């Protein structure tokens, strides 16, 4: 890869990492009520599309169904958002580091962001710093970075087979 392309790729990937960390920051800034409303809208949308009888339920029954799914959907959101961060971080570090070195760097950066995210939430009204969420976030980072590492290693293996 030429120097200009590598510089451009590095810039784009790190810009995506910073942008994604900003998205995480914005979600963390939501107070408890707003965060619950956001989750509720997503759950309502999912249930309306994938739960055949959801729309025929009374408003009270719909609210109970949404509450039943709330914990799982919120944890999956944490996991997914940080899995994306793991992928982006791994890709950004991979511009300058070999995949096996980029992996721990990406996981370390993502884990640090997960801890900072939870600490940040402790200053937001109605939110708290939860160890469980830190663990879910770190697991997401680990899976995202692992996923991209495996893709990189597979591509490298295919290139070595052809050579």
The residue ranges of every structural domain in the chain are 3-162
Q: What is the pLDDT of residue 42?
A: 93
**High-pLDDT (> 90) share of the chain, %:** 87
Q: Find out whether 89 and 21 touch, Cβ atoms under 8 Å.
A: no
Smallest CA-to-CA distance from 136 within 40, 90, 58, 71 is with 71
User: What distance in Å separates the CA atoms of residue 134 and residue 62, rounded to the nearest whole number?
Assistant: 30
77-99, pLDDT tens digit by residue?
Answer: 999 999 999 999 999 999 999 99
User: What distance in Å separates the CA atoms of residue 37 and residue 149, rounded to the nearest whole number?
Assistant: 36
User: What distance in Å separates the CA atoms of residue 26 and residue 60, rounded to the nearest whole number?
Assistant: 30
Q: What is the pLDDT of residue 1?
A: 67
User: What distance in Å separates the CA atoms of residue 109 and residue 42, rounded to the nearest whole number?
Assistant: 28
Helix (H, G, I), strand (E, B) or coil at 112: helix
57-75, pLDDT tens digit by residue?
Answer: 999 999 999 999 999 999 9
- The pTM assigned to this predicted structure is 0.90
pLDDT at 100 over 80: yes
The residue whose two tokens read 């810009």 is: 15
User: What distance in Å separates the CA atoms of residue 70 and residue 81, rounded to the nearest whole number?
Assistant: 16
Q: What is the pLDDT of residue 162?
A: 85
Q: Find out whether 57 and 65 touch, Cβ atoms under 8 Å.
A: yes
Smallest CA-to-CA distance from 121 within 29, 37, 39 is with 29
Q: Report, as an integer, the average pLDDT of 3-32.
A: 95
Mean pLDDT (the chain, rounded): 94
């Amino acid at each position: 890869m030429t120097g200009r392309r590598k510089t451009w790729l590095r810039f784009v990937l790190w810009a995506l990492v910073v942008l994604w960390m900003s998205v995480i920051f914005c979600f963390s800034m939501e107070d408890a009520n707003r965060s619950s409303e956001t989750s509720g809208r997503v759950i309502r949308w999912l249930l309306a599309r994938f739960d055949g009888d959801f729309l025929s339920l009374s408003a009270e029954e719909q609210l109970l169904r949404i509450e039943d799914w709330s914990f799982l959907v919120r944890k999956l959101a944490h996991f997914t958002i940080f899995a994306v961060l793991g992928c982006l971080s791994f890709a950004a570090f991979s511009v300058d580091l070999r995949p096996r070195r980029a992996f721990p760097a990406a996981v370390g950066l993502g884990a640090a962001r997960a801890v900072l995210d939870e600490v940040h939430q402790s200053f937001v009204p109605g939110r708290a710093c939860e160890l469980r969420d830190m663990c879910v976030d770190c697991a997401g980072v680990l899976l995202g970075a692992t996923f991209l590492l495996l893709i990189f290693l597979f591509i490298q293996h295919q290139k070595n087979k052809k050579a």
